[in-house]
Amino acid sequence: MLKTNKNFYWLAGLMTVLVLIVMVVSYYILWLTAIEEKRTDLVHIVQSQARLIEAIARFDMKHNRVEWETPIGERGPTSLLSMRAGADTFSQIYDAHKHYQGFGETGEILIAGIENSQIMFLLSHKKSLNKKTFTVPFDGENAEPMRRALSSLSGSMVGRDYEGEIVLAAYEPIDVLNLGLVAKVSLDEVKAPFIRAGFITSFVTVVLIFISSFFFRRLTKPIANKIIENEQKFRDLVENINEWIWEVDVSGTLLYSSPKVSQIIGYSYDEVVGHSLYEFMTSIDVENVQDVIEQSSKTKTSIHALECTFINNKQEIVEVEMSAEYILNSKGKLIGYRGVAHDISERKQREHLLKRYRDNLEEMVADRTIELEHVNKELRDFAYIVSHDLRSPLVSITGFTGELNEDMKILSNCASQFLGETAEDEYRDVKMALNETIPESLHYIETAADKMNRLINSILTLSRIGGRTLVYEKVDIKQLIVNNLQAMAFQIEQSNTVVDIAELPILEVDELAMEQIFGNLLGNAIKYLSPDRNGIINVWCEENKTQVFFYIQDNGIGIAEQDLSQIFKLFKRVGEQKMVGDGMGLAYVQTLIRRLGGKIECQSVLGEGATFSFSIPKR
Amino acid sequence: MNNNKTTLILVDDDEAHTVLIKRSLKKSGLRNEIISLQSGQQALDFIFSEGEFAGKIRCASIVVILDINMPGISGVSVLKKLKQSEITRHIPVIMLTTTDEPKEIDECYKIGCNAYITKPVKHTDFVEKMAELGLFLKVSKMPGFG
């Protein structure tokens, strides 16, 4: 900021100096031209005046027949005033000069001759005519132009006049009268307008430069500030961001590196800039990276998340991830890369660790899965064996109970024939046993055996569900439910039940399992409707990306809160046992849903109804 | 009736079952001789006249009724052996067992059993089934043996 200001003032100063120099030079040239012009003017004046005076003098000489006291050839008369012809001539010159206005402020015409080795000035005409004579020593320093005129020289010069002032003068001898004519003007007068103009224009120029500088400054200051601000912003960004920002040319030599480099590979800015990026990489990676860069330069694509290994100043390996964008010059030629890099050593370490954990976990899961599969198989085998081995004795129990029943009939027929209506006490017990207690005992044995048979069948069914191979195919769930309900049409009509089925998806699932699930749940919903009101059963579903949730809601008798946790258990029946059932339905349903990878839940308020919801994963 | 000469070989390790089956079959009016054996090994020995039955008994024709779950050689193994041998391949074999595993039923039919009957647990059903079996045996013409 300060530097820019200083630069600006330097620039303004330089501009002023340059303008002034140009001005001085141009005015000097103009001044020289003006002097030259003036000189020419003066020469013209003296020449024309001299010729004119000579002409007058010759005329006077001819017509006045004046004897000249001094022989021709000597410079000047001893007493010019005594010379008649000269006096005549002079009176004419005086006369002429009376009407002559002179020239300039300091312009002066002088006529002089030589008398007694002195220059005697006979006439001087500045603004007005001066006839007084005065002398100046011939060999003095002053009156150099007249000295030259009196020495028969003609020309112009800058020199001292009779008063010692520096003047521009033209000199010319007047031959006939042996006089000298000089026209001069003060050099100061010639200079003055130029100096004045110079000062005025210099002043105006300097003022203009200052004014324009001021406005320029005011106009550019916000822009400059913005640029400075932006630069600072980007510099801050580049230097403070948690990334190493760098730039290389096509050969890989670092042209720029943010200070962050020292935190990544330990070398400072000065130690890396000018060096090849490859110098800091492990040799294995150099080729790799070069390949990638070559590929990128061919296809003009950026490099994204390239992982490579660097060696830091402590000779340790640092894992770095780099991304780079190629740089093209204005002609579209690749001139290098600009990119970012950051240390991913920690991340890599975590990844390695994670991978190890994952591998371990996978191994553990695999082991556990095998174990579980074994256990599962054993359980299934167990259920199978138990149910068959239990059935075998059961066949015997029921078989012989049946045989006994038949034999009992024979016996009691026989007894009633033999004993008739005998009411003797010793036979009363026999009759009682034959007709009441034994048939009753047999009945309970049969009931118990029957119940056991049902339990065994249930276990068997459950183990079969667990072992069945699922067949996944597209199933229209709504159609499946409609088909299912047809089997229950009679009960639905009898109980005045309305079944509302919302739109349901077509799922890839095991059809038989779904049939059993919906069969059981809908069957339960109808079976446990409240006798106090018409049944309403709603079926709908919700779905997300991975699962479909089905809901079956009824307004039946509901399930007490404390029983909810029991309903999915094997052989569990809750609430009042008005309906026939073996307590297996929901256990089947749960097993089936679990096999399909889903979950089942139930929400219910006793006396108001129940909602069963279950999920089925999408495939 | 030719079939009266056919001997039923009832193979079941459960004596109670044997008794029940025999009674039920008799009740259905079947008059054929029924020989009951308690294991798969015995059944094979009897049919192939080996072991304890070596050179003892020869029947004109036999029908084998096999239980599956038996210690040692199972009913399925006996069935396999019978169906593998050229001599015994044509002997009718009826599986009569408590097992109703569909896979097992399938397997038995594949090996070549002639009928597969599940022993019903309910007595009335049991009697009914045995009556059907009895009737079946009466009307079927059994191939001669040996």
Beta-bridge partner residues of A498 = A536
Judge: A399–B17 Cβ closer than 8 Å, yes or no. Answer: yes
Judge: B99–A388 Cβ closer than 8 Å, yes or no. Answer: yes
Give CA–CA dist A552/A481, Å, rounded.
11
Judge: B122–A391 Cβ closer than 8 Å, yes or no. Answer: no
Question: How close, in Å, is residue A532 to chain B by CA atoms?
Answer: 38
Whether residue A454 lies within 8 A of chain B, CB to CB, comes out as: no
Q: Taking the model in full, what pTM does it have?
A: 0.47
pLDDT tens column, A509-562 = 999 889 989 999 999 898 888 888 888 999 999 999 899 999 999 998 988 888
B23 chain-A contacts, CB cut-off 8 A: 403
Name the average pLDDT for chain B: 84
* Complex confidence, ipTM: 0.83
Question: How close, in Å, is residue A455 to chain B by CA atoms?
Answer: 12
pLDDT category of residue B142 using cuts at 50, 70 and 90: low
| Residue-level pLDDT at A68 | 45
Whether residue B1 lies within 8 A of chain A, CB to CB, comes out as: no
Give the Cβ contact number of residue A432 at 10 Å: 11
Closest by Cβ to A392, choosing from B98, B101, B120: B98
SS3 of residue A312 by DSSP: coil
Question: How close, in Å, is residue A535 to chain B by CA atoms?
Answer: 37
Angle, in degrees to the nearest 10, between helices A438-467 and A585-595:
10
A498-501 and A536-543 strand pairing: parallel
Radius of gyration of chain A (CA): 68
Whether residue A453 lies within 8 A of chain B, CB to CB, comes out as: yes
pLDDT of B29 strictly over 60: yes
| Residue-level pLDDT at B36 | 92
Question: How close, in Å, is residue A377 to chain B by CA atoms?
Answer: 16
pLDDT category of residue B1 using cuts at 50, 70 and 90: very low
| Residue-level pLDDT at B4 | 62
Question: How close, in Å, is residue A435 to chain B by CA atoms?
Answer: 21
Give CA–CA dist B17/B10, Å, rounded.
10
Burial of A223 (0-12, 13-18, 19+ CB in 10 A): exposed
For an interface test with A, give the residue of B123, B126, B128, B130 to mutate (most A CBs within 10 A): B123
Contact indicator for A93, A111 with CB cutoff of 8 Å: yes
Whether residue A394 lies within 8 A of chain B, CB to CB, comes out as: yes
A392 chain-B contacts, CB cut-off 8 A: 14, 17, 69, 98
Low-confidence spans in chain A with pLDDT less than 50: 65-82, 84
Judge: B17–A388 Cβ closer than 8 Å, yes or no. Answer: no
| Residue-level pLDDT at A79 | 44
Judge: B126–A400 Cβ closer than 8 Å, yes or no. Answer: no
Judge: A453–B121 Cβ closer than 8 Å, yes or no. Answer: yes
B14 chain-A contacts, CB cut-off 8 A: 392, 396
Which long-range contacts does A510-515 make (Cβ < 8 Å, 24+ apart)?
A510/A470, A510/A471, A510/A472, A510/A473, A510/A596, A511/A471, A511/A473, A511/A475, A511/A480, A512/A468, A512/A471, A513/A470, A513/A592, A513/A595, A513/A596, A514/A475, A514/A477, A514/A480, A514/A616, A515/A480, A515/A483, A515/A484
Nearest to A68 by CA among A148, A168, A178, A216: A178
